Amino acid sequence: MVSAEPRPQPTRTPVAPGFWAKKDWGDIVVALDGTPKSRDALSWAAGLASVTGARIRLVHALTPRQSTRSSMRLHGQRLLRSARSELSGLDPRIAIDSILTDDPIASVLGALSHTADLIVIGGRESGPIRDVLFGRNATRIVAESACPVLVWRPQHTDITPAAPVVVGVDHSDSCTRAIEAAFWFADALEVPLTALHVGSPHRRPATKDAELEQLRALEWLGGRVDAAASVHPTVTVHLHLLDSSAEHELRLASATAHLLVVGSRGLGPWTGPLTGSVGQSLVHASCCPILVVR
């Protein structure tokens, strides 16, 4: 691993803020299934809505079997009422809307993602294969969403107040948006930001120019975050180059992070170091909340 010292605060005039720096958000959509994970996700979304002024749209989807039973429909209505009451108790200023639907949750969230600013779902202990075989929808929701998706996963109990926001950095356009999001959250949480770039898991033989190559790579990594850093000059930035498995390193970093942020193309393969099953695995195995940005 190659690391750089914390970067000095930029002195140039900040560039115009993008989506993550806008003053007024629209909708934060929160999927509820009655589990403790989804309730924790709701509390997380409430904190974000308080900061951004967003409306929260609560969504509960009945399964095909449940939709024919009036008792389960009544249960869904009670679940939504309870969530509305909880939100009002957390912050009475939050505008709230709710949807009870018979349609599959992934389809509903996919449709809502075209007008929402963020979708928040509770993560479950599963994996990409179980996601397919047993109808767990996190992978599909993340892949098909037209807006960023936050998969809430519990943090370690010994997480420190200074734990960073971690962002995986590559050459893709979606990574540029992920970097902007990571800086926004680091600024809002008043924590440092760690930018990780993972190279080939097969380290090349050492050469006389290896140190120079590493310095150039660090310079490139610094350049990738410069624009976002100029918008958030109070955020301390740490740069790290890693020659290992992207999945392993990002999962390891998530164990001591407030938030893990990665980019994705959405439908189709995930970008950069998050290719194929790596991104899917992180959605299921991250040790902290993970934000996937289109």
- DSSP per-residue string spanning 190-223: T--EEEEEE--SSPPPP-TTHHHHHHHHHHHHHH
Please report the pLDDT score of residue 71 as a whole number. 82
**Residue 34: its pLDDT value, please?**
86
Question: Which residue's structure tokens are 């909708």?
Answer: 27
Give me the CATH code for the 20-152 domain, please: 3.40.50.620
Q: Which residue spans of the chain are classified as CATH 3.40.50.12370? A: 2-19+158-293
Domain with CATH 3.40.50.620 in the chain: 20-152
Q: Among residues of the chain, what percentage have pLDDT more than 70? A: 76
> pTM (2 decimals)?
0.83
* Residues 12-20, mean pLDDT to the nearest whole number: 41
pLDDT at 175 over 90: no
Helices (H), the chain: 36-52, 70-90, 105-112, 128-133, 138-144, 173-189, 210-231, 246-254, 277-285
Please compute Rg for the chain using Cα positions.
20
Quickly name the fold that domain 2-19+158-293 has: Rossmann fold (3.40.50)
pLDDT of residue 230: 94
State the pLDDT at residue 44. Answer: 92
Strand-strand pairing, 149-152 and 118-122: parallel
Q: DSSP 3-state assignment of 242?
A: strand
Closest Cα to residue 2, out of 190, 282, 249? 249
pLDDT at 85 over 80: yes
Note the pLDDT of residue 133.
34
248 pLDDT band, cuts 50/70/90, is: confident
237-242 and 193-198 strand pairing: parallel
Q: Which two tokens stand for residue 38?
A: 């989804």
pLDDT in tens, 226-239: 999 999 999 999 99
Phi, psi of 233 (to 5 degrees): -65, -15
CA dihedral 87, 56, 292, 231 (to 10 degrees): -100
Tokens of residue 22, six digits: 């806008």
